[in-house]
Structure 1
Amino acid sequence: MVLLFVYGSLRQGMYNAPLLRRGRLVAKEAWVNGVLYDTGEGYPGLIAGEGRVWGEVYQITQQELRWVDRLEDYNGPNHPDNLYERISLKVRTPEGEQTAYTYYYRDVERLKQKGKKVASGDWVAYVNMK
């Protein structure tokens, strides 16, 4: 079992949430340091930076992690075809810190040029306001 921090289409109420239906929601309110962007393609991209990005933490199996890897176009560490890189980072919750996997958008410069910064750091709130 592994922990996964999700901040976009995998969150509750979003269109890819059913992919995590077998997982156990560990933290409904969680955040990481970073900057969130709207890619303009219907999903967000997270990059390193000063800010807070909101999401949820799930406990999932290795098989479920592989399913999410496919969804995120993650083919292994530093693979040239990756859209995202899977990383391990500290996730904060009201109960304390945990270490979990998440996905950073790989092409930072493209995201900064063509994407739109999500000031709130909360994809669900951002989508619901559109």
Structure 2
Amino acid sequence: AVLPDAALYDGPGYPFAVHRPGSAVVGELITAAPGAYGELLAALDRLEEYGGPGRPGNIYDRIARPALLPDGTPVRAWVYLAAPLIARDLRESGTEIAGGDWFKRRSAPAE
């Protein structure tokens, strides 16, 4: 799937998505099994160090955004964007991942 209006930045072993109009991030869209939605969301929140809306310790903020399926169909998805202070630092001095695709960046040959 594609997340419009977001840019991807290199992080300490994992990427950070940041809101940026006109850019896009490529990624995987997963759907929870029936009855497992709450458990999956709680596990992802722990993984992404998200403590709830506006919490100062958040690494990421979980936000509902439209994502685009390969055929262009928009779907509502929860995404984890870098928390505001981290996003500011990334915009100012971070390393943007060209094309917004973490896996292609990792598999690119070294120069």
Give me the TM-score of the superposition, normalised by structure 1: 0.72
Query: How many residue pairs align between the two structures?
Result: 100
Letter in 2 for 1:124: F
If you compute each CA radius of gyration, which structure gives the higher value, 1 or 2? Answer: 2
CA distance in 2, matches of 1:63, 1:120: 32
- Among 89, 97, 101, the alignment partner of 2:74 is 97
CA distance in 2, matches of 1:42, 1:94: 27
Deviation at 1:94, TM superposition (A): 2.5
Deviation at 1:114, TM superposition (A): 4.0
Corresponding position of 2:91 = 112
Partner SS for 1:75: coil
Residue 64 in 1 paired to residue 40 in 2?
Answer: yes
Deviation at 1:115, TM superposition (A): 2.2
Give me the TM-score of the superposition, normalised by structure 2: 0.84
- Which stretches of structure 1, 4 residues or longer, exceed 2 Å deviation after superposition? 112-115
Structure having the higher helix fraction is 2
- Among 46, 58, 63, the alignment partner of 1:87 is 63
CA distance in 2, matches of 1:78, 1:68: 17
> After superposition, where does 1:19-34 map in structure 2 within 5 Å?
30-33=1-4, 34=6
Deviations 1:13-67 (A, max 9, x none): xxxxxxxxxxxxxxxxx1012110002x001000111211101111122101111
Deviations 1:87-126 (A, max 9, x none): 0000001331100101000121212234210011100100
Structure having the higher strand fraction is 1
CA distance in 2, matches of 1:117, 1:71: 22
